[in-house]
Structure 1
Amino acid sequence: MQIGIFSVGDLTVDPTNGREPTEHERIKAMVTIAKKAEEVGLDVFATGEHHNPPFVAPANPTVLLAHIAAQTERLILSTSTTLITTNDPVRLAEDYAYLQHLADGRVDLMMGRGNTAPVYPWFGKDIAQGLSLAIENYHLLHKLWRETDVDWEGRFRTPLTAFTSTPRPLDDVPPFVWHGSIRSPEIAEQAAFYGDGFFANNIFWPKEHYIRLINLYRERFAHYGHGTPEQAIVGLGGQVFMRKNSQDAVDEFRPYFDNAPVYGHGPSLEDFTAQTPLTVGSPQEVIEKTLTFREFFGDYQRQLFLMDHAGLPLKTVLEQLDLLGEEVVPVLREEFAKRTPAGVPDAPTHAGLLAARDAEQKEATV
């Protein structure tokens, strides 16, 4: 089980003092948070891609992730998400292969369509074609990482003739890809077709919606011959806020929740925690609720928590990471290890993918 954090890079006023961090402060804070994640023993840091206020998450995540790669040794660096709809697949193939080399393989991607309608026309795209763009663009990206001298023609970009993307993926093993979705069965189908991972960022809606999406992905993963439904690669989102004392956590987090740009001024904190993965309380409460996720969604490989949002000051976020690393993650790892049946695959890593590739090649020559 890989456990980590993801950031949406929002610029939000702290409702307790009216202060909004500058763009510079928020960008530097994301670097500090990533380094802290490695320090406390987390496995993954992921960043979103945004092109509009109120976000400073990078328009090109490879810039931030390369900077973090140079200052870390073990942390897996991911996106959450890379916009497969408005980015050129050729550029994605080049940029992320380059990042993969710089980070010695500690890179994977989460593909997504994006949920901000104005972004599409900014890049000359039509949101009504979002699904078609996601399917065609990823098909090309997948091909570019695995083939040279590519001849290709599609609907949404100029044709390619005898094109080879450079640099080639590290060890000729492309970065592992997760397909992120909060609502679209077509994306679950796409992930299953390629045998890629499916990341259900289940932080807003009740679990029943995501159970349907994940079950569809598992069924189609098996249909396409990649393994049993239980061997499908699943990731989940989550949100936590902790203090040693549960009521202290609720009292401190309530003004941030009530004024958050996404869900503020909507459901109450109590209703939202009852209906979604959000956990506000003690470390033990976070452990208990997170362990219930596999009861609903089956065994899974990656758990990412959203922690640096809604105007929370950097000092508070770093305190949260200390609690997560010291009191929550060791217990979660132990409990997940005990409860995961034999035959459920580990979370993908570059080393694991390379070993699997070499084993397949060796078997083919016997």
Structure 2
Amino acid sequence: MQFGIFTVGDVTPDPTNGSTPSEHERIKAMVAIALKAEEVGLDVFATGEHHNPPFVPSSPTTMLGYIAAQTKRLILSTSTTLITTNDPVKIAEDFAMLQHLADGRVDLMLGRGNTGPVYPWFGQDIRQGIPLAIENYALLHQLWRTDVVDWEGQFRTPLQGFTSTPRPLEGVPPFVWHGSIRSPEIAEQAAYYGDGFFANNIFWPKDHFIRLIDLYRRRFAHYGHGTPEQAIVGLGGQVFLHKNSQDAVRQFRPYFDNAPVYGHGPSLEEFTEQTPLTVGSPQEVIDKTLTFRESFGDYQRQLFLMDHAGLPLKTVLEQLDLLGAEVIPVLRREFAAARPAEVPDGPTHPALTARAAANNGSRPTRDFGHDTATAERTDADTKR
């Protein structure tokens, strides 16, 4: 089981004093948070990708490369890489380069993002979001697994005899998670390739995500990658910690009440009841996180959002100290004790390399983007 944090890189005023960090301060704070994550024993740091204010992480691989040079163990990932508006060729090259620099400590989460105007900014049509995600990943998947690529699709110019460089480290591409909060087509895509599916269940009731994850598990088994229980699942979550729950609620309430996404909506108490948000003591975080397994089955990666809504860097670092010292060790022990032997661990480059060697380098070459039968089955399955 892998534990980590993810950031969306928002620049938000602190509602308790009105101060707003500069872009420079926020970028440096994200780096400090990543370094603290490794210091306290977390496994993963993931950054989002945005191209508009009030967010700063427009170039995830630049930031992750800088962090890679200052860390030894941390898996460096994204909490969204925009598969719809980035050129798959550039994704292939950038993440392969990062993979080499970080000695394999790299994976990525593909998604469509949450900002509609980003599509025309990069010359795309938001109405083609799902087809773009499907076709672009089909190309990315091939670029990492075929040395010389001939390609023709709907959304970019053809490729003839193209080789993306550098090639993936040891011939093994970075592991891919497909992230979605609403789209069964993306769960199907993840299942088809045998990739991971990440449900960032931080805003909506869990029943919605149970349906998405169950669909992914069924289809993962349908495509012959293993049993439903062996599918690779990641979950999001949100926590705010204090030694006692009363102080946690008191300190976090102004940030919650004024947060750009959910402020001035449901109360803190209503939101914590209906979503994974936990505001309380370390034991309360442990207890609620352990219930995720009851809802979603055994899973491989748990990422927490901890640095949003204007929380100052000092507070976030204190939160990470508590998380690393009092929460994660217990969660590791409890999840490991309950985990069946046949359920795989979280993906790492050494494990993927060993599996590729055991399979004599054989890799699937199917093209999801052109499998009309798959699309028809997806339609039927999602109506169940």
SS at match of 1:304: strand
SS at match of 1:93: helix
In 2, Cα distance between the equivalents of 1:359 and 1:153?
32
After superposition, where does 1:346-361 map in structure 2 within 5 Å?
346-361=345-360
TM-score normalised per structure 2? 0.94
Map of 2:148 onto structure 1: 149
Structure 1: stretches of 5+ with no match in the other structure: none
Map of 1:76 onto structure 2: 75
Task: Tell me how far 1:359 sits from its aligned partner.
Answer: 1.2
1:103 aligns with 2:106: no
After superposition, where does 1:149-298 map in structure 2 within 5 Å?
149-298=148-297
Q: What letter corresponds to residue 177 of structure 2 in structure 1?
A: W
Map of 1:28 onto structure 2: 28
In 1, Cα distance between the equivalents of 2:250 and 2:149?
58
Q: What letter corresponds to residue 361 of structure 1 in structure 2?
A: N
SS at match of 1:33: helix
1:304 aligns with 2:298: no
Task: Tell me how far 1:300 sits from its aligned partner.
Answer: 0.1
CA contact (8 A) 2:109 2:178 kept: yes
Query: Per-residue displacement from partner, 1:37-65 (whole Å, max 9, x unpaired)?
Result: 000000000000000011012x1210000
Task: Tell me how far 1:80 sits from its aligned partner.
Answer: 0.6
1:39 aligns with 2:60: no
In 2, Cα distance between the equivalents of 1:126 and 1:219?
31
Task: Tell me how far 1:334 sits from its aligned partner.
Answer: 0.2
Map of 2:2 onto structure 1: 2
SS at match of 1:361: coil
Map of 1:54 onto structure 2: 54
Task: Tell me how far 1:6 sits from its aligned partner.
Answer: 0.1
Q: What letter corresponds to residue 54 of structure 2 in structure 1?
A: P
Query: Per-residue displacement from partner, 1:216-243 (whole Å, max 9, x unpaired)?
Result: 0000000000000000000000000010
Map of 1:337 onto structure 2: 336
SS at match of 1:77: strand
Query: Per-residue displacement from partner, 1:156-177 (whole Å, max 9, x unpaired)?
Result: 0000001111100000000000
Residues 1:193 and 1:363: Cα distance change in structure 2 (over 3 Å): closer
Residues 1:86 and 1:250: Cα distance change in structure 2 (over 3 Å): same
Q: What letter corresponds to residue 81 of structure 1 in structure 2?
A: T
SS at match of 2:49: coil
CA contact (8 A) 2:356 2:362 kept: no
Q: What letter corresponds to residue 358 of structure 2 in structure 1?
A: A
In 2, Cα distance between the equivalents of 1:294 and 1:302?
11
Task: Tell me how far 1:107 sits from its aligned partner.
Answer: 0.2
Query: Per-residue displacement from partner, 1:314-364 (whole Å, max 9, x unpaired)?
Result: 000000000000000000000000001110001000000001111111999
Over aligned residues, Cα RMSD in angstroms? 1.0
SS at match of 1:241: strand
Task: Tell me how far 1:115 sits from its aligned partner.
Answer: 1.5
In 1, Cα distance between the equivalents of 2:315 and 2:307?
9
Task: Tell me how far 1:5 sits from its aligned partner.
Answer: 0.1
Map of 1:115 onto structure 2: 114
In 1, Cα distance between the equivalents of 2:165 and 2:313?
38
In 2, Cα distance between the equivalents of 1:314 and 1:360?
46
Moved over 2 A (4+): none
SS at match of 2:360: helix
Query: Per-residue displacement from partner, 1:169-205 (whole Å, max 9, x unpaired)?
Result: 0000000000000000000000000000000000000
In 2, Cα distance between the equivalents of 1:19 and 1:63?
27
In 1, Cα distance between the equivalents of 2:244 and 2:294?
27
Query: Per-residue displacement from partner, 1:75-134 (whole Å, max 9, x unpaired)?
Result: 000001000000000011001000000000000000001111110000010000000000
In 2, Cα distance between the equivalents of 1:193 and 1:101?
27
Query: Per-residue displacement from partner, 1:14-40 (whole Å, max 9, x unpaired)?
Result: 000000001010000000000000000
Structure 2: stretches of 5+ with no match in the other structure: 364-384
SS at match of 1:46: strand
In 2, Cα distance between the equivalents of 1:108 and 1:80?
10
Residues 1:170 and 1:183: Cα distance change in structure 2 (over 3 Å): same
Q: What letter corresponds to residue 41 of structure 2 in structure 1?
A: G
In 2, Cα distance between the equivalents of 1:157 and 1:290?
42
In 1, Cα distance between the equivalents of 2:74 and 2:43?
5
Number of residues of Structure 1 aligned to a counterpart in Structure 2: 363
Q: Percent identity?
A: 81
SS at match of 1:6: strand
Q: What letter corresponds to residue 17 of structure 2 in structure 1?
A: N
Map of 2:366 onto structure 1: none
